[in-house]
Chains A and B, each alone.
Chain A
Amino acid sequence: MSVRDRMLERVREAVRDREAAEHPGAFEGWRSTAALHPVDGLVQLLEAAGGEVVRQPDVAAATAWLASFCVDFESSAVGETVPDALRPPLPLGAPDTAPLGVSRARGAVAETGSLILDARDGRRAQLLVPTHVVFVHTRGVYATLREALIDLADDLPSAIGFHSGPSKSADIGQILVKGVHGPGRLVAVLIDGGD
Chain B
Amino acid sequence: MSFTGPGNYRQEAAKTIRDKPEVRTSITAATRTFDAHRVQAWGQIDADRWRDWARDVKSHVLGHLDEYLEQAEERLTANGAQVHWAETAADALAILGDIVREHGVESAVKAKSMLSEELGVNRHLESLGVHVRETDLGEYIIQLLDQPPSHIVGPAIHLSVDDCRRLFHEKLGTPLDAEPDELAGAARDALRAEFLAADLGISGGNFLAADTGTVALIENEGNIRLSTSLPRVHVALVGIEKLVPKLEDVSGLLQLTARSATGQPIGNFVSLIQGPRKSDEVDGPDEVHVVLVDNGRTKLLADDVAWEALRCVRCGACLNICPVYRQTGGHAYGWPYSGPIGAIIAPGMLGLEEAMPLPFASSLCGACTDVCPVRIPIPELLVHWREKAAEQGLTPPTETLGLKAYAKLAQSPELFAAAGSVLRRMPLELGGRALPVLGGWMQERSAPKSSKKSFLRMWKEGIE
Which stretch in B222-230, B336-344, B384-392, B419-427 binds the other chain?
A: B222-230
Q: Which of B214-271 contact A (CB under 8 A)?
A: 214, 220-223, 225-226, 228-230, 240, 245, 247-252, 254-255, 264-271
Which stretch in B59-67, B363-371, B401-409, B434-442 binds the other chain?
A: B59-67
Complex contact B44–A165 (CB within 8 A): no
Q: Least Cβ distance of B147 to chain A in Å? A: 13
Q: Least Cβ distance of A28 to chain B in Å? A: 8
Given A12, A15, A112, A180, which contacts B222 in the complex, CB threshold below 8 Å?
A: A180
Is B50's CB within 8 Å of the partner chain A?
yes
19 additional contacts, CB 8 Å, given A11-B65, A119-B284, A123-B229? A14-B298, A20-B63, A49-B264, A96-B192, A96-B196, A124-B229, A124-B230, A144-B251, A145-B251, A158-B277, A159-B228, A159-B229, A161-B225, A162-B270, A164-B265, A172-B180, A173-B162, A175-B180, A182-B222
Is B301's CB within 8 Å of the partner chain A?
yes
Complex contact A177–B274 (CB within 8 A): no
Q: Which of B177-227 contact A (CB under 8 A)?
A: 180-181, 183-185, 187-188, 191-192, 195-196, 211-212, 214, 220-223, 225-226
Ordered by A's residue number, 9 sampled pairs between the chains whose C-beta atoms are within 8 Å are A7-B298, A15-B302, A20-B63, A22-B60, A31-B44, A49-B268, A180-B187, A180-B188, A182-B222
Known A7-B294, A162-B266, A169-B138: A180·B277 in contact at CB below 8 Å = no
A residues in contact (CB < 8 Å) with B = 2-4, 6-8, 10-15, 18-24, 26-27, 29-33, 45, 49-50, 80, 96, 111-114, 119-120, 122-124, 126-128, 144-146, 148-150, 152-153, 156-175, 177, 179-183
Is B172's CB within 8 Å of the partner chain A?
no
A120-B279 Cα distance, complex, nearest whole Å? 10
Q: Least Cβ distance of B384 to chain A in Å? A: 16
Which stretch in B9-17, B83-91, B450-458 binds the other chain?
A: B83-91
Q: Least Cβ distance of A143 to chain B in Å? A: 12
Known A113-B266, A182-B225: A32·B45 in contact at CB below 8 Å = yes
Given B59, B191, B294, which contacts A181 in the complex, CB threshold below 8 Å?
A: B191
Complex contact B223–A181 (CB within 8 A): yes
Q: Least Cβ distance of A24 to chain B in Å? A: 4
A164-B68 Cα distance, complex, nearest whole Å? 30
Complex contact A11–B66 (CB within 8 A): yes
Give B37-75 as 1s and 0s: 1 = Cβ < 8 Å from A's Cβ atoms: 000000111100110110011011011111001100100
Contacts of B398 in A (CB 8 A): none
Complex contact A163–B268 (CB within 8 A): yes
Contacts of A175 in B (CB 8 A): 161, 180
B residues in contact (CB < 8 Å) with A = 26, 29-30, 33, 43-46, 49-50, 52-53, 56-57, 59-60, 62-66, 69-70, 73, 79-80, 85-87, 91, 135-138, 141, 154-157, 159-162, 164, 180-181, 183-185, 187-188, 191-192, 195-196, 211-212, 214, 220-223, 225-226, 228-230, 240, 245, 247-252, 254-255, 264-278, 280-284, 288, 292, 294, 298-299, 301-302, 304, 307
A179-B221 Cα distance, complex, nearest whole Å? 8
Q: Which of A22, A31, A119 has the most CB of B within 10 A?
A: A119
Contacts of B298 in A (CB 8 A): 7, 10-11, 13-14
Contacts of B141 in A (CB 8 A): 171-172
Complex contact B221–A164 (CB within 8 A): no
Given A31, A163, A167, A171, which contacts B46 in the complex, CB threshold below 8 Å?
A: A31
Given B64, B220, B254, B284, which contacts A167 in the complex, CB threshold below 8 Å?
A: B220
A103-B44 Cα distance, complex, nearest whole Å? 31
Given A19, A27, A166, A174, which contacts B252 in the complex, CB threshold below 8 Å?
A: A27
Contacts of B276 in A (CB 8 A): 158
Complex contact B255–A145 (CB within 8 A): yes
Complex contact B45–A24 (CB within 8 A): no
Q: Which of B180, B212, B277 has the most CB of A within 10 A?
A: B180
Contacts of B53 in A (CB 8 A): 24, 27
Contacts of A171 in B (CB 8 A): 136-138, 141, 154-156
A120-B274 Cα distance, complex, nearest whole Å? 13
Given B46, B86, B196, B220, which contacts A3 in the complex, CB threshold below 8 Å?
A: B86
Complex contact B255–A158 (CB within 8 A): no
Known A11-B298, A153-B248: A169·B137 in contact at CB below 8 Å = yes
Complex contact B278–A157 (CB within 8 A): yes
Q: Which 8 A-B pairs rank lowest in CB-CB distance, beginning with the nearest?
A: A182-B222, A20-B63, A27-B252, A173-B161, A171-B138, A14-B302, A24-B56, A30-B46
Complex contact A30–B254 (CB within 8 A): no
Contacts of B52 in A (CB 8 A): 24
Q: Which residue of A lies closest to B178 (CB)?
A: A172
Q: Which of B26, B277, B299 has the most CB of A within 10 A?
A: B277
Contacts of B30 in A (CB 8 A): 174
Given A45, A119, A145, A181, which contacts B277 in the complex, CB threshold below 8 Å?
A: A119
Given A4, A119, A157, A166, which contacts B268 in the complex, CB threshold below 8 Å?
A: A166
Contacts of B281 in A (CB 8 A): 119-120, 122, 157-158
Q: Least Cβ distance of A3 to chain B in Å? A: 5
Complex contact B269–A27 (CB within 8 A): no
Contacts of B304 in A (CB 8 A): 18
Complex contact A23–B221 (CB within 8 A): no
Q: Which residue of A lies closest to B250 (CB)?
A: A149
Complex contact A15–B138 (CB within 8 A): no
Known A8-B69, A171-B154: A124·B283 in contact at CB below 8 Å = yes
Contacts of A49 in B (CB 8 A): 264-265, 268
Q: Least Cβ distance of A47 to chain B in Å? A: 12
Q: Least Cβ distance of A99 to chain B in Å? A: 14
Contacts of A30 in B (CB 8 A): 45-46, 49-50
Complex contact B220–A146 (CB within 8 A): no
Q: Least Cβ distance of A97 to chain B in Å? A: 11
Given A8, A15, A27, A177, which contacts B184 in the complex, CB threshold below 8 Å?
A: A177
Q: Least Cβ distance of B54 to chain A in Å? A: 8
Q: Which of A114, A150, A165, A174 has the most CB of B within 10 A?
A: A174
